[in-house]
Amino acid sequence: MLHAFAGELLTRHAVTDATYAAARDQFGEQNLIDLVAALGTFTMLAMLLNAFEVDLPTGAEPPFPRPAGDRVNAPRQLAHLLPALWRGVYDATRGSDEMPALESQVQILRKLVAGGELSPARLAEELRLARPTVSNSLKGLVSDGMVTRQRSTADGRSVLLQATGRGHDVLLAFRQGREEVLAEVLKELPADDQDRLVAALPSLDRLLEALEARADAEWAGRRQT
């Protein structure tokens, strides 16, 4: 009866005449008043905790076991969160007309700066992207003077791509800006959140290694077919 009374009040925001009469007969009117006051108090506390995202004190253990569904939903949450995080970092860092307009252009600059001269085919291979996608991204980098296209002196036929000095500078500025943005935003987070993020970094590194191994295997399988 207690559950029925509280459930109707919390979900329907009212109590039916039949439920009220049965609860009053069982508990008495004063106890029902105390019950409603307790429900209101705990509801108010829950709203305060939720609205201001109050976390457990440092070192405190959650009083209830983790629901089994949490781990099941982890892939879904990561699939949404990881690209959103990268996009947020990219958008917060770009902040200049000199920065590459596309995320793929940042990846192209990174590969060319690290690997030196690369052919378009080799670049697409290392980025695991289709050749047309790489070609479209390269157009803006070439026109902005960040990448050069030159005929190979070895055979005079193949094209080699190379990051220019400006391309190096733009990539360096992007990396520095990215670190500065993340440092500023991390400082704004509660200390507990900062500690959790630092503690999670080794796990994220292992996750990245596993994903890259899976991507290499998947890309190799596509090439064979």
Give tens-digit pLDDT for 85-140.
Answer: 888 888 887 665 567 767 778 888 888 998 788 888 888 888 877 788 888 888 88
CA dist 117 and 56 (Å) reads: 53
Report the pLDDT value the prediction gives residue 2, as an integer from 0 to 100.
93
Percentage of the residues of the chain whose pLDDT score is greater than 90: 22
CA dist 85 and 89 (Å) reads: 6
CA dist 65 and 44 (Å) reads: 24
Nearest Cα residue to 108 out of 68, 157, 146: 146
Tokens 């291979």 -> residue:
125
- The DSSP code sequence of 142-160 is HHTTSEEEEE-TTTSSSEE
Decide if pLDDT at 185 tops 70. Answer: yes
In eight-state DSSP terms, residue 163 is E
Give tens-digit pLDDT for 55-66.
Answer: 777 778 777 766
- 175-184 burial, b for 16+ CB within 10 Å, e for fewer? eebbeebeee
Cα-based angle 8, 11, 13 (whole degrees, multiple of 5): 75
CA dist 31 and 34 (Å) reads: 5
Decide if pLDDT at 150 tops 90. Answer: no
Helices 69-94 and 103-115, axial angle in degrees (round to 10): 80
On whether the CB atoms of residues 127 and 108 are closer than 8 A, the answer is yes
On whether the CB atoms of residues 130 and 60 are closer than 8 A, the answer is no
On whether the CB atoms of residues 150 and 160 are closer than 8 A, the answer is yes
- What torsion do the CA atoms of 54, 57, 58, 59 make, to the nearest 10 degrees? -130
Token couple for 225: 């077919």
CA-based R_g, the chain, Å: 29
The residue extents of the domains of the chain are 2-51, 94-186, 189-225
Report the pLDDT value the prediction gives residue 30, as an integer from 0 to 100.
95
What average pLDDT does the segment 58-83 reach?
A: 72
pTM: 0.55
Architecture of domain 94-186: Orthogonal Bundle (1.10)
* Bridge partner residues of 118 (DSSP): 161
